[in-house]
Amino acid sequence: MTILKAIIVDDERLARVNLMKLLESHPGIEIAGEAGSCKAAVDLISIHNPQLIFLDIQLCGETGFDLLAVTGRSMKIIFVTAYDEYAIRAFDVNAVDYLLKPVSPDRLGESIERVLNKSTDQNCTAGGYDYSDSIYLKLNNYSSRFIKISAITFIEPVGNYSRIFTSDGKHFMVLKTLKQWEVDLPAANFKRIHRSSIINIEHLEKVEKRPDKPHQAFLKNIPEPLEVSRRYARRLKAFN
């Protein structure tokens, strides 16, 4: 049986207690902890590294979307909220489900079945994100946005940050290392070609071999080619 480690994030203690009682009948879900604020949730996520989060949207002046932007982690999300106006935005971050309070045991059961089946389907897939996912990223203290995984052309490191280049010619700075991206991105679509770059091979036009020099990778809508180190050149063998 697939067992997912989960946390509950809700600023109402009674709501957390009620949800935990409902989850007792679902052995596939192991509750690692609960939090009543974004800060407490960040600490909980850091300690337990959960695969699933039951997430309220309104959290004492903050939102569940703020939490997702801060953590930068890849987790399955089931929103549990009293508000239905956020449903579209919730599915833009690829939430598994959106449950309205008071939570129906039957609807919760459907959500659990969906998330467990999705986990089983992805057991052999490297990466925390699917290629079809949209992710919600906090770019700075004033701005956040949704980015489609499929729209990412390549990523380069900038200290503890990374710069994301997208297919529309834009680029964004995100507090996330290249190593973290390498773990989270779907391995079938994204390849590291150098210690300073990960590319989306769906956006790769060609690889040029150069005698006694590093190969060069040419990407769509990127004017300058990227260097391919010898260590990673074999990853692009199909394009050589």
Residues of the chain with pLDDT under 70: 1, 72-73, 86-94, 118-128, 136, 138-144, 235-240
In angstroms, rounded to a whole number, what is the distance separating the alpha carbons of residues 214 and 230? 7
Task: Residue 212: count other Cβ atoms within 10 Å of its Cβ.
Answer: 4
- Give 36's Cβ-side CA count (13 Å radius): 8
Question: How close are the terminal C-alpha atoms of the chain, in Å?
Answer: 43
How buried is residue 56: exposed, middle or buried, by Cβ count under 10 Å (0-12/13-18/19+)? buried
CATH fourth-level superfamily of 4-121:
Response regulator (3.40.50.2300)
Do 4-121 and 134-239 fold alike per CATH?
Answer: no
**199 close to 210: Cβ distance less than 8 angstroms:** no
Sorted by where each begins, the domain ranges of the chain are: 4-121, 134-239
Predicted pLDDT at 73: 66
Give residue-wise pLDDT tens across range 73-90: 678 899 998 877 766 566
pTM over 0.85: no
**226 close to 219: Cβ distance less than 8 angstroms:** yes
**217 close to 224: Cβ distance less than 8 angstroms:** no
**3 close to 29: Cβ distance less than 8 angstroms:** yes
Give residue-wise pLDDT tens across range 9-54: 999 999 999 999 999 999 999 999 999 999 999 999 989 989 999 9
The CATH code of the domain at 134-239 is 2.40.50.1020
